[in-house]
């Protein structure tokens, strides 16, 4: 039993290095997409201290809006631009209707407000787009199809799906872009000031309402990119919301306010769940990919609750 759990999985990795590389590649793609989802949460949490429960449904809503516009005769790239506009309107509406009236309210009130926003978007999305899964317009957006097989020295093959390569590249570009936005731009510096101290930011003339609208819009763009990539790999449906909640373990690992933490946490979860499913999953009947991430997060909570890059909060009494 001990051999099967501790030794045998690593023996399989050594004996089949090509298969191990295939598993690691799939874990990398999943991990970088998890990190992209987590960035949407990080953006809003850094600026307002609000855990945006609605980020998952925003992924679905953005994807459905894009597909729905195209189904009604709008050209693909025009539909993409219009969807960006829709996410901008949503960001403005959230700031005006949700954030502004609830400023200085307890965090739990703001969390409940985002839960209410979640169910509003679910109901509105089902009313407008229906509840059936839809095909992402990957070809119309010029996303690549097909695959490339890389032959290994031992005769094995590693197969790279072109859509996975595109997803990884786009996600990494967006992550890098957001990092530059946070650290090099005036708005990014203002956002970090708001994250550090709302009152101090107000005292130097930074508009909280403007910053909140910007970060909700940025989170909407992240949600749109995530919806396109995940939708292209499967389809666009309300089930994507469940995938989006894989960002929770990512945030617990990396810290709720850290962009590097979101990246590292996403990769840990991506690699961990793929390796666990392939090499340890058969011992428990399979299917551990759906819950292993939460077990990893629970272990981190026990030993480092602030995450790898999170700040330790010390309250003086």
How many C-alpha atoms does 257 have within 13 Å on its Cβ side?
A: 16
- Which class for 181: exposed (0-12), middle (13-18), buried (19 or more C-beta within 10 A)? middle
Pairwise CA distance, residues 260 & 175, whole Å: 9
Tell me the average pLDDT across 286-314: 80
Pairwise CA distance, residues 85 & 81, whole Å: 6
Kindly list the structural domains of the chain, giving each domain's residue range(s) and its CATH number in brackets, ordered by start. 1-303 (1.10.3470)
CB atoms within 10 A of CB 146: 8
Pairwise CA distance, residues 262 & 66, whole Å: 26
The answer, as to whether pTM is greater than 0.85, is: yes
pLDDT value at 86 more than 90: yes
- Structure confidence by residue, pLDDT tens digits, 218-227: 889 999 998 8
pLDDT value at 64 more than 90: yes
pLDDT value of residue 255: 83
Residue 61: which pLDDT band, with cuts at 50, 70 and 90? very high
Residue 271: which pLDDT band, with cuts at 50, 70 and 90? very high
- Structure confidence by residue, pLDDT tens digits, 153-212: 766 788 889 988 998 898 888 888 887 887 788 877 777 777 666 677 777 777 777 888
Q: Cα-flanking dihedrals φ and ψ of residue 123, to 5°? A: -65, -45
Query: Measuring CA to CA, which residue among 256, 209, 262 is closest to residue 97?
Result: 209
Pairwise CA distance, residues 96 & 45, whole Å: 18
């Amino acid at each position: 039993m001990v051999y099967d759990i501790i030794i045998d999985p690593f023996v399989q990795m050594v004996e089949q290095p090509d298969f191990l590389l295939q598993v690691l590649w799939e874990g990398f793609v999943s991990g970088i997409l998890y990190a992209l989802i987590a960035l949407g949460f990080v953006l809003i949490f850094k600026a307002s201290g609000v855990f945006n429960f609605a980020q998952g449904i925003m992924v679905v809503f953005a994807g459905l809006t894009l597909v729905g516009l195209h189904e009604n005769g709008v050209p693909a790239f025009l539909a993409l631009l219009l969807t960006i506009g829709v996410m901008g309107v949503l960001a403005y509406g959230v700031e005006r209707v949700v954030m502004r009236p609830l400023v200085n309210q307890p965090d739990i009130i703001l969390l409940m407000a985002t839960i209410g926003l979640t169910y509003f978007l679910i109901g509105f999305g089902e009313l407008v787009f229906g509840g059936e899964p839809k095909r992402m317009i990957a070809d119309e957006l010029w996303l690549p199809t097909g695959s490339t097989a890389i032959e290994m020295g031992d005769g094995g093959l590693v197969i790279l799906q072109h859509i996975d390569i595109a997803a990884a590249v786009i996600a990494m570009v967006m992550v890098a872009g957001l990092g530059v936005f946070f650290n090099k731009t005036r708005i990014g510096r203002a956002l970090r000031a708001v994250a550090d101290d709302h009152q101090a930011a107000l005292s130097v003339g930074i508009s909280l309402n403007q910053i909140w609208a910007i970060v909700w819009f940025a989170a909407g763009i992240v949600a749109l990119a995530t919806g396109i990539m995940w939708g292209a790999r499967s389809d666009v449906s309300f089930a994507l919301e469940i995938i989006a909640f894989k960002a929770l373990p990512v945030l617990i690992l990396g810290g709720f306010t850290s962009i590097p933490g979101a990246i590292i946490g996403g990769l840990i979860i991506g690699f961990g769940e793929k390796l666990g499913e392939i090499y340890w999953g058969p011992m428990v009947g399979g299917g551990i990919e759906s819950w292993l991430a939460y077990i990893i997060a629970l272990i981190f909570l026990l030993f480092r609750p602030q995450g790898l890059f999170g700040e330790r909060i010390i309250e003086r009494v």
